[in-house]
Structure 1
Amino acid sequence: MEDVQGRSDNRQIAIDKVGIKDIRHPVRVRDRTGHDQHTVATFSMYVNLPQHFKGTHMSRFVSILEGHDREITVESFHEMLAEMTHRLEAESGHIEMSFPYFVNKRAPVSGVESLMDYEAAFIGEMHADRHETWVRVAVPVTTLCPCSKQISERGAHNQRSQVVVTALADGFVWLEELIELVEAEGSCELYGLLKRPDEKHVTERAYDNPKFVEDVVRDIAVRLNDDARIAAYRITSENYESIHNHSAFALIEHDKRAAE
């Protein structure tokens, strides 16, 4: 049968990314305890398309996923990126694998254990012979408004905040390390299960540690700047305000390599 996608195209317009989006597949991720977490990831896979080709071969993306057993690991994720660009005869490729990641946490006073879930992702980019893998993690924290605390006679308003860190590492970095770094820079971290003594502790911890959204991203940036393994990063923080009908938002991007 004729390869329609392989026909020439006379519009002389290249496409930066073409492929498949939001396909789910089993994955296996090693956590810091030495155990494997079996979960389901959502994949988006793209390649560039030169101007002289009419289309790409969409079925090959799915075939590449299916070719890596039933579960994909971090190691096979890297292999998939190279395989995808080669099989689709592309100069550049992009794979994003996002998945829920679980960490067992102990409540600060009672010590009761519960699981916290975080949305994590590996993002692979390949351009010619250059290959990069970014790690992204979304971490919910509590923030308490310094201004509200300063002007109020009783209490202060707080909110849940979503902090997202996307980092390019020269060395190995555990997801747990990024999660703990972010949690340490909120007013207080979140837990899946708290007893009453724990609730007292986290409420008072937040009150004693007020932070604006600007403080959160700056404090995280300081920590990442001091980590020699981190080559570049992007930090966002969104406060889902409890007394306003809007969110507060801040973003910092920095590429340490540009300063070298």
Structure 2
Amino acid sequence: MIDVQNQMDHRNIRVDKVGVKDIRYPLTVMDKNNGAQHTVACINMYVNLPREFKGTHMSRFIEILNEFHGNLDIREVSMILEEMQSKLQAESAHLEISFPYFIKKLSPITATAGLMEYGCRVAACRDQNDDCDLVLEVNVPITTVCPCSKEISIHGAHNQRGMVRLAVRFKRFMWIEDLVQLVEYCASCEVYSVLKRPDEKYVTERAYENPKFVEDVVRDVAKALKKDANVLWFKVDVENFESIHNHSAYACIERHK
């Protein structure tokens, strides 16, 4: 049969990324407390396409995933990239894996157990020199209390839930749990899935005693990361879903070390 994809393209324009998106696939992630955690990932796979070829072979992306027999391990990222380059005759390969990660947390006073979900993402690429780049991203919900509101009010202060998105490049492996803990420490207070009345009292008072702007949170996270010699690069942004404004507050810091 005619291989249309391998036919010559005369427009003389290379394609930087071509591939498949939104593949749902079982995934095993390393868990600091339990050894491993099984979850479901959403996967994007791309390669570059030289200017002389009309198209890539989309089915080969799926064939590569199927080699893992329905259970992809996050530690096999480099192997997948190498397979993509080889089977698709590409100079560069790109892999994006997004997945929910669950951590068991105890409420602060009654020690009631509950699972917290954290959205995570691994973005990896491998170039023609066989150099591999990997970025780990975690999304951590937090609580903040507005310092300005507390300062000018006789009673109370407005508080809101926020989201911290932290992405890092590192020398040695980093645990998701450690990144989550770092971020939560920099918030006015952590977010929990289960709170009894004594817990709610603690969380409310803890946040009130520790007010922070988005600028405070993003700077505190950046300060902690700058002290970590294992971190090569980071980007942290904070978005507060304001409770008394018709907008969100936002701050971002990106640094190469």
What's the TM-score bracket when you normalise by the shorter of the two chains?
over 0.9
Residue 26 (structure 2) pairs with residue 19 (structure 1): no
Residue 120 (structure 2) pairs with residue 120 (structure 1): yes
Residue 103 (structure 2) pairs with residue 106 (structure 1): no
Shift of 1:78: 2.1
Question: Counterpart of 1:60?
Answer: 60
Q: Residue 68 of structure 1 contacts residue 76 of structure 1 at CA under 8 Å; is this kept in 2?
A: no
Partners of 1:228 and 1:245 in 2: how far apart?
Answer: 40
CA offset digits 1:206-243 (Å, max 9, x no partner): 10111111111111011111111111111111100101
Question: Counterpart of 1:7?
Answer: 7
Partners of 1:126 and 1:87 in 2: how far apart?
Answer: 14
Question: Counterpart of 1:249?
Answer: 250
Partners of 2:97 and 2:73 in 1: how far apart?
Answer: 11
Give 1:225's aligned amino acid: K
Residue 188 (structure 2) pairs with residue 192 (structure 1): no
Give 2:150's aligned amino acid: K
Partners of 1:255 and 1:126 in 2: how far apart?
Answer: 20
Partners of 1:223 and 1:69 in 2: how far apart?
Answer: 40
Question: Counterpart of 2:208?
Answer: 207
* Counterpart mapping for 1:227-242 below 5 A: 227-242=228-243
Question: Counterpart of 1:95?
Answer: 95
Report the identity percentage.
52
Shift of 1:125: 1.2
Shift of 1:82: 1.2
Q: Residue 49 of structure 1 contacts residue 56 of structure 1 at CA under 8 Å; is this kept in 2?
A: yes
Partners of 2:67 and 2:4 in 1: how far apart?
Answer: 24
DSSP-derived class of the 2:21 partner:
strand
Partners of 2:246 and 2:172 in 1: how far apart?
Answer: 41
Partners of 1:125 and 1:232 in 2: how far apart?
Answer: 16
Q: Residue 142 of structure 1 contacts residue 161 of structure 1 at CA under 8 Å; is this kept in 2?
A: yes
Partners of 1:87 and 1:181 in 2: how far apart?
Answer: 40
Shift of 1:77: 2.2
Q: Residue 78 of structure 2 contacts residue 132 of structure 2 at CA under 8 Å; is this kept in 1?
A: no
Question: Counterpart of 1:134?
Answer: 135
Shift of 1:35: 2.9
Q: Residue 84 of structure 2 contacts residue 93 of structure 2 at CA under 8 Å; is this kept in 1?
A: yes
Give 2:81's aligned amino acid: L
DSSP-derived class of the 1:65 partner:
helix
TM-score scaled by length of structure 2: 0.98
TM-score scaled by length of structure 1: 0.96
Which residues of structure 1 form unaligned runs of 5+? none
Give 1:94's aligned amino acid: H
Question: Counterpart of 2:170?
Answer: 169
Instruction: Name segments (4+ residues, structure 1) moved above 3 Å.
Output: none
Q: Residue 224 of structure 1 contacts residue 230 of structure 1 at CA under 8 Å; is this kept in 2?
A: yes
Shift of 1:34: 3.3
DSSP-derived class of the 2:139 partner:
strand
Shift of 1:12: 1.2
DSSP-derived class of the 2:77 partner:
helix
Question: Counterpart of 2:40?
Answer: 40
Shift of 1:33: 1.1
Partners of 1:166 and 1:224 in 2: how far apart?
Answer: 11
Which stretch has the larger CA shift, 122-131 or 200-209?
122-131
Q: How well do the aligned residues superpose, as a CA RMSD in angstroms?
A: 0.9
Partners of 1:232 and 1:245 in 2: how far apart?
Answer: 33
